[in-house]
Amino acid sequence: MAGAANSPRQRMINLMYLVFISMMALNMGKEVLSAFGLMNEKLQAANERYQSTNEAVFAELEKKEQEKPEEYAESLKKAREVRDASNEYYAYLGELKEDIMKQAGTTEKERKDYQVMDKSDKLDERFFKTDGLKPDGQKFLDNIKNYRDKLVSLLDEKKDAALIAVIQERFSTGENDKVKDREGNSVGWVQYNYEGFPYIAAVTKFSQLQSDVRQTEQDFYKAMLGEKMKEELSMKHYTTLLEQSRGAYYANQEFDGAIVLGRKDNSTKPKKVDLKLDGRPIPESQVEVVEGKIKLKVNTGNVGDHKIEGTLIYEQNGEETPVDVVQSFTTIPRPNEAVISADKMNVVYRGVVNPMTISMPGVPDNQVNASAPGLSRKSGPNYIMKPGAGSSEVTIVVTGTFDGQKFSSSKKFRVKDIPKPEGAILKTTGAVKLAKANILAGELSVAFNDFDFDLSTKVNSFRILVPGQPSVVVQGSRVSASAPAAAAVNRAKKGDVIQISEIRYSVSGYSGTPKPATPISIEVL
């Protein structure tokens, strides 16, 4: 019945509803606190980015002042005042945030746990009293107003009206430092915005003020730069530049260069184009204006240098301003044959490394490719060729890419074996005369006379024949390496001719079978 007392069960259900509603309200408050904390983190990160940008813009102002002190000295002076005032106020807000954190008793760990920063008593005790603001609260209000008024005083009421309005809005403290609350009552601006707010909400608001400071500082710098740049953007400060897709052009190829001003935009459009190529007028059909560029579509003509001269007429403030054009470009022959040369001679030798230089006129080395059996690239135009066995000639095919087109050329080279070397003792070839001691101690070698390759060789064995005695095979490159051979030489008589033949040797890096070396004849002294 409606008037009957609730049963214990019903009272328990009602109590559970109350607890559930309270928990929802508690969770909602924690979510709001976390949202403030995350917003504060984003504001702090944004403030750091603003600071970097402001430093770059200020540096640009300083650079301009060094280049043109008579034009930028006053602007830089004002910018320094803005920077100093901004840094001072920004630092004050930072100290205020830190003090509130300390007064709130938050540890370093708790500063990231925004849900525990739900009190307001410490900030309220610092800023407010029963009938108004405490000294710290009044200082907070005065600092906002002083910063705002300082920046406004540096601006021109008419010329900088838009920026003044932005500054006054960002740092507004209401009419006579009062605002209307939801009931329409007049309350203090500081009380309305900060009294009774959780710590994290107040800290976030301070970070927002810091963000406004950096944004305003940046707006001020850009305004100072922009005002002076208007004068520099006058046509009389421009010069013409020639843009080309390449450094030179082929004969009878379309020249796709563009004559541009220092600034390229659609507003920079000449009223009249009067240009000549090598003294001949360029027709309008071969001229196109795109984004401030005067693009030319003319034939490059014959090989050699060509000059573009004339005048571009621009309209400025109702008057025609001429800009003189004096530019040039070079036309080069189109590549039709590769240049290939063997660095040592006009053939390549089998089994050894043949250095080669391969290039194509007018084509960069990285756009030239050469191919052939045994050919490999070292770097740039430098290649090495190592022909294999069985071939008597090799064809090198070269392909160059230029302006999207490919050009090919080929050349044949004869492939030869390395020549037959001469046997030598003490670096002397042919018929020699030596004393027995020199024959015994002398080292045998092979010599590739009139061969331009530097080959590293080593004698491995040879046969020695002393008159009247059996021949002896020696392992090594000296007669003294074999006792029988040394004994045979010691028994030789003056005038005897000793024959050294069947000289076996190896060549470092050579992949083939070297030809036998010629014998050595030694007359005993």
Per-residue pLDDT tens for 65-83?
887 787 788 888 998 999 9
346 or 474, greater pLDDT = 474
Nearest of 348, 344, 339, 346 to residue 386 by alpha carbon: 348
Structure tokens at 381: 């135009």
Lowest-confidence segment of 109-113, 230-234, 254-258, 392-396 by average pLDDT: 230-234
Neighbours of 423 (CB within 10 A): 24
Return d(Cα 12, Cα 14) in angstroms, integer. Answer: 5
- Amino acid occupying residue 518: T
Q: Which helix (H) or strand (E) holds 473?
A: strand 472-475
43 or 58, greater pLDDT = 58
Q: Give mean pLDDT, residues 84-99.
A: 91
Indicate if the pLDDT at residue 156 is higher than 90.
Answer: no
pLDDT of 17: 46
pLDDT of 20: 43
Strand partners, 444: 425
CA distances from 296 to 213, 262, 301 (A): 50, 18, 14
Lowest-confidence segment of 57-66, 112-121, 166-175, 347-356 by average pLDDT: 112-121
Per-residue pLDDT tens for 295-316?
888 888 887 788 899 998 887 6
Q: Where are the beta strands (DSSP E) in 350-434?
A: 354-359, 368-371, 375-379, 382-385, 393-402, 405-416, 422-425, 428-429, 431-434
Strands 186-188 and 178-180: antiparallel
Confidence class for position 290, pLDDT limits 50, 70, 90: confident
Nearest of 336, 333, 382 to residue 360 by alpha carbon: 336
Calculate ∠ Cα 483-487-470, nearest 5°. Answer: 95
Contacts of residue 460, defined as CB under 8 A and 6 or more positions apart, other chains included, come to 475, 476, 477, 504, 505, 506
Q: Give mean pLDDT, residues 128-149.
A: 90
Please check whether residue 509 is in contact with residue 352, taking contact to mean a CB–CB distance below 8 angstroms: yes
Question: What single-letter DSSP state applies at residue 282?
Answer: P
- Amino acid occupying residue 336: N
Q: Give mean pLDDT, residues 488-513.
A: 89
Q: Give mean pLDDT, residues 254-274.
A: 72
Tell me the CATH number of domain 422-524, given options 2.60.40, 1.10.3470, 1.20.140, 2.40.50. 2.60.40
Q: What pTM value is reported for the model?
A: 0.42
Q: Where are the beta strands (DSSP E) in 262-347?
A: 272-277, 280-281, 287-290, 293-296, 298-299, 304-316, 319-332, 339-342
Question: What single-letter DSSP state applies at residue 366?
Answer: G
The count of residues in the chain is 525
What percentage of the chain has pLDDT greater than the value 70?
80
Q: Give mean pLDDT, residues 474-494.
A: 92
Calculate ∠ Cα 194-197-198, nearest 5°. Answer: 135
In the numeric block, the tokens 């005897």 are attached to 496
Confidence class for position 61, pLDDT limits 50, 70, 90: confident
Confidence class for position 233, pLDDT limits 50, 70, 90: very low
Lowest-confidence segment of 146-150, 213-217, 252-256, 403-407 by average pLDDT: 252-256
Indicate if the pLDDT at residue 4 is higher than 60.
Answer: no
The three-state DSSP-derived secondary structure of 419-472 is: CCCEEEECCEECEEEECHHHHHHCEEEEECCCCCCCCCEEEEEEEEECCCCCCE
Nearest of 267, 310, 307 to residue 291 by alpha carbon: 267
Topology of domain 236-332 in CATH is Immunoglobulin-like (2.60.40)
Tell me the CATH number of domain 339-416, given options 2.40.30.10, 3.40.50.11540, 2.120.10.30, 2.60.40.10. 2.60.40.10
Question: Residue 365 — left, alpha, or beta (φ > 0 → left; ψ -120 to 50 → alpha)?
Answer: alpha
